[in-house]
Amino acid sequence: MTTEADALALDATDAGHRDLFDVPPAQGGDYAEVAYFAGNSLGLRPKATRAELLEDLDAWAALGVEGHLDAARPWLPYHELLTGPASRLVGALPSETVVMNSLTVNLHLLMVSFYRPTTSRHRIVIEDAAFPSDSYAVRSQVAFHGYDAEDAVIRLRPRPGEDSLRTADVVEQLGGDVALVLLGGVNYLTGELMDIPMITKAGHAAGAVVGWDLAHAAGNVPLALHDWDVDFAAWCSYKYLNSGPGALAGAFVHERHLGTDLPRFEGWWSTEAATRFEMTPESRPPASADAWQVSNPPIFSMGPVRTSLELFDKIGIDVLRERSLRLTAYLENLLADVPLQVITPADPARRGAQLSLRVTGMRAGELSRRLRFEYGVIADAREPDVLRLAPVPLYSTYHDCWRAAAALAEVMA
């Protein structure tokens, strides 16, 4: 194992942007601040967020209803401030992107448009290790359309003895009865980065619609949703996008579906902004992802997303990915001295920032509690036996990685 001094030396030459974030104090161990590895669950707060949020709150005090038009960031078109940076982050056109609602709500709204089952083609393909919310969402969609979820939802499992899915095996499952492929771009449990362009292409060749849950991919790895011809996607902003608990989510609809007669659920935010206040009984949806909006948005949830996306715009996801590759490889190297198996793919091209460990000898939750209270290391446990560590290139350090590996080695010894 490299020494603590080595880790500190690397931090001096390859520093991230920790100074832009509030790092919580440690509740145990030898260091003042936590070594934070749970940014794949809830990202840390950018320092700029507090002032931004207070400005929006104070605009309400100062202007009342007039804030809709007269606030420094007027509320009526506020969501448009998020569209440009969000679209750049996921490789989309601004017209294809909207920030709204929460992730699972967006998946449902998008499935209203993109899951159009027929008797001969009604199956949905997901990963067996899909985040449960996605599993519940697709099962409820299938049931809503009158089909049996046990029959209609195909769950992809890794081969016996393996932890991640092989692209060729995924492709093989895409038969003529598949209506929708809905996979996680990066799997929440194993950290596997799927081959999004290849699977999208294969799904289309099989006649299916292909959507992606990018909760663990947005802000983690570079994406090119438009060029990859993805039909639709949704992601949350509280993980790698550091926009706070329950933060607003994003949605993507490919240009070729905009302005078409796809069914959508509508509300007054689905109609074009220019004529919204004519209060007509019929909507006039714009030919953009904005047409998938339903309600007027929660303004105080928008500032944190804006502040965060600004950081990604300034620093660039490609630059962050480069540092992420270095940091994750460094952690992986250190973990070789820990007697726990890494279940995340070893190929850096097939993973993002997260390394998942298979915990033996105790439950993952107990290990995570010991790391927190004895060492000040925050790692996420998925019971019974997975511990997830995400070195986040914006704010994690080599020293954090060294602390995590040293703590794990000590606990497991």
102 is a contact residue toward ligand PLP (CB under 6 A): yes
| HEC-encoded secondary structure of the chain | CCCHHHHHHHHHHCCCCHHHEECCECCCCCCCECEECECCCCCCEECHHHHHHHHHHHHHHHHHHHHHHHCCCCCCCCCHHHHHHHHHHHCCCHHHEEEECCHHHHHHHHHHHHCCCCCCCCEEEEECCCCHHHHHHHHHHHHHCCCCHHHHEEEECCCCCCCCCCHHHHHHCCCCCEEEEEEECECCCCCEECCHHHHHHHHHHCCCEEEEECCCCCCCCCCCCCCCCCCEEEECCCCCCCCCCCCCEEEEECHHHCCCCCCCCCCHHHCCHHHHHHCCCCCCCCCCHHHHCCCCCCHHHHHHHHHHHHHHHHHCHHHHHHHHHHHHHHHHHHHCCCCCEECCCCCHHHECCCEEEECCCCCHHHHHHHHHHHHCEECEEECCCEEEEECCCCCCCHHHHHHHHHHHHHHHC
> Using CB under 6 A, which of the segments 127-135, 140-148, 266-274, 317-325 binds ligand PLP?
127-135
Binding footprint of ligand PLP, residue count (CB under 6 A): 13
184 is a contact residue toward ligand PLP (CB under 6 A): yes
| Residue 216 beta carbon to ligand PLP: minimum distance, rounded to whole angstroms | 6
Closest CB to ligand PLP among residues 88, 382? 382
217 is a contact residue toward ligand PLP (CB under 6 A): no
Residues 75, 188, 252, 312: which binds ligand PLP (CB under 6 A)? 188
330 is a contact residue toward ligand PLP (CB under 6 A): no
> Using CB under 6 A, which of the segments 17-25, 126-134, 259-267, 331-339 binds ligand PLP?
126-134
85 is a contact residue toward ligand PLP (CB under 6 A): no
56 is a contact residue toward ligand PLP (CB under 6 A): no
Do the annotations mark residue 228 as ligand-binding?
Answer: no
2 is a contact residue toward ligand PLP (CB under 6 A): no
Do the annotations mark residue 87 as ligand-binding?
Answer: no
Q: Which residues pair with 253 in a beta bridge?
A: 232
103 is a contact residue toward ligand PLP (CB under 6 A): yes
Closest CB to ligand PLP among residues 10, 126? 126
Do the annotations mark residue 40 as ligand-binding?
Answer: no
Closest CB to ligand PLP among residues 239, 306? 239
Crossing angle for the helix pair 48-63 and 302-315, to the nearest 10 degrees:
140
| Residue 316 beta carbon to ligand PLP: minimum distance, rounded to whole angstroms | 24
| Residue 126 beta carbon to ligand PLP: minimum distance, rounded to whole angstroms | 11
213 is a contact residue toward ligand PLP (CB under 6 A): yes
Q: Residue 60 is encoded by which pair of tokens?
A: 């309400």
| Residue 214 beta carbon to ligand PLP: minimum distance, rounded to whole angstroms | 8
| Residue 36 beta carbon to ligand PLP: minimum distance, rounded to whole angstroms | 17
| Residue 237 beta carbon to ligand PLP: minimum distance, rounded to whole angstroms | 9
Binding mask 130-159 for ligand PLP (x = CB under 6 A): -x-xx-------------------------
> Using CB under 6 A, which of the segments 3-11, 100-108, 189-197, 201-209 binds ligand PLP?
100-108
380 is a contact residue toward ligand PLP (CB under 6 A): no
236 is a contact residue toward ligand PLP (CB under 6 A): yes
Q: Residue 350 is encoded by which pair of tokens?
A: 């097939």
Q: Cα separation of 254 and 225, whole Å?
A: 8
Given the rule CB under 6 A, which residues bind ligand PLP? 102-104, 131, 133-134, 184, 188, 213, 215-216, 236, 249
